[in-house]
Amino acid sequence: MKFNAHLEDIEIYEAGKPIELVVREFGIESKDIVKLASNENPYGCSPKVKESVSKLIAHMSLYPDDSMHKLKKALAKRFEVGEENLIVGSGSDQVIEFLIHAKAHSNSKILINSVTFAMYEIYAKHVGAEIIRSSTQHHHLEEFYQLYLENKPEIIFLCTPNNPTGDALDAQEVYDFIAKVDKNTLVVVDGAYMEYAAYKDKNKAISPKDLIEQFKNVIYLGTFSKAYGLGGMRVGYGVADARIIKHLYKLRPPFNITTLSLEAASVALSDEEFVNKSIALSFQEMKRYEEFAKERKIDIINSYTNFVTLCLNDNQNSTQLSNSLLQKGMIVRDLSGYGMNAIRVTVGTNEQNSRFFELASEFI
Ligand SMILES: *Cc1c(COP(=O)(O)O)cnc(C)c1O
């Protein structure tokens, strides 16, 4: 049987190893496994979410409210934008899928940072679009502008803070860059960790409202999977000019967000205190990683997220290290696939981090 030739080029994406897999592969009991690999919120989600979601369990036989009224109203209020400026996806991953399918085709180019979120390239390959990569590990917007002039890409992705490196661009720098790009190029600002960046440094905070008031060719992406602690519920969103949203809607399957997920996200948005508290705790715990790196003389990238990227020395190997840690039940992300001799570790709870230091000390 023949398949779409574009698929030949795609390798199946391996998301952070689930705990269940480590249980099966290494025979470690799940209570002894610590997963610091997917940047989930180690403090879970707001208790209010659990309470309201559990009340909805009786409604599972009915399709969800496809207008997503409650969640859209809550998002519109939070970001001070119109409901016509919003699209909700099964994770912001799905919004990335929509926008690439809506804008790119087999003759398109898509400009991304040299090291960045893997899904941009995977969805680009769905449509056979060509990926253009910058040369530097951190976004360098002057180079981006040169590459833009040379390649005339259909879409430009700016991931700030960037995953898997944790660094962030200044908001003003991003605005100045977008202002120079022509109106037919879609600029995507992926703010999956923006809540963390905004907490740490106001200069890094990009508000969707600011973006869409200034530019008609930009979409901001946010997610409930990270700071809001709802990775298992799969809810993300895009904020853009109504014309962009209208086109993305053509690709959206009906009922793409479950009843429970819609409720969870709406309620999570109302408990700002929970989110702020977990962000504060995360940065407090991050200091221990900075200490650890200093003591062991390894580089740590200044992070505006809930993870740290530890760049190993030449006599250390990130694949070996992450495998050794895995055998002890500690799941972290090996970044060798990104061309880096580094590991990415989600900042966990105090206890989880202590466990990481204890295990990693055997190898680093
Ligand atoms: C986690 C993440 C996303 C999307 O996550 P969803 O769970 O699909 O909402 C998007 N971009 C980046 C950079 C991420 O790290």
Q: What is the pLDDT of residues 211-229, one digit of tens each?
A: 999 999 999 999 999 999 9
> Does the beta carbon of 307 sit less than 6 angstroms from any atom of ligand 1?
no
**47-271 CATH, one of 3.40.630.30, 3.40.640.10, 1.10.150.20, 3.60.21.10:** 3.40.640.10
Q: Quick check: 120 pLDDT over 70?
A: yes
Look-up of token digits 């946010």: 222
Residue nearest to atom 14 of ligand 1 (CA): 192
- Count Cβ atoms within 10 A of the Cβ of residue 137 and give its class: 0-12 exposed, 13-18 middle, 19 or more buried: buried
Instruction: Determine which helix (DSSP H) or strand (DSSP E) holds 88, and give its type and residue range.
Output: strand 86-89
> Does the beta carbon of 190 sit less than 6 angstroms from any atom of ligand 1?
yes
pLDDT band at 14 (very low <50, low <70, confident <90, very high): confident
> Does the beta carbon of 191 sit less than 6 angstroms from any atom of ligand 1?
no
The pLDDT value given to residue 215: 98
- Identify any residues that bridge with 186 across adjacent strands, giving them in sequence order: 155
- Identify any residues that bridge with 110 across adjacent strands, giving them in sequence order: 131, 155
Tokens standing for residue 247 = 């086109």
DSSP-assigned letter for residue 300: E
Q: Quick check: 17 pLDDT over 70?
A: no
Query: What residue spans in the chain does CATH classification 3.90.1150.10 cover?
Result: 5-45+273-360
> Does the beta carbon of 42 sit less than 6 angstroms from any atom of ligand 1?
no
Ligand 1 centre distance from Cα of residue 92 (Å): 6
**Number of the ligand 1 atom closest to the C-alpha atom of 234:** 7
Cβ pair 265, 64 in contact under 8 A:
no
Look-up of token digits 């715990």: 285
Question: pTM for the full model?
Answer: 0.96
> Does the beta carbon of 116 sit less than 6 angstroms from any atom of ligand 1?
no
Tokens standing for residue 316 = 């250390």
Cα–Cα dist 257/60, whole Å: 13
> Does the beta carbon of 229 sit less than 6 angstroms from any atom of ligand 1?
no
> Does the beta carbon of 192 sit less than 6 angstroms from any atom of ligand 1?
yes
Ligand 1 centre distance from Cα of residue 91 (Å): 7
DSSP-assigned letter for residue 258: -
**b/e string for 322-353 if b means 16 or more Cβ within 10 A?**
beebbebbbbbbbbeebebbbbbbbbbbeebb
Residue nearest to atom 11 of ligand 1 (CA): 192
Query: What residue spans in the chain does CATH classification 3.40.640.10 cover?
Result: 47-271
**5-45+273-360 CATH, one of 3.30.465.10, 3.40.1190.20, 3.90.1150.10, 1.10.1270.20:** 3.90.1150.10
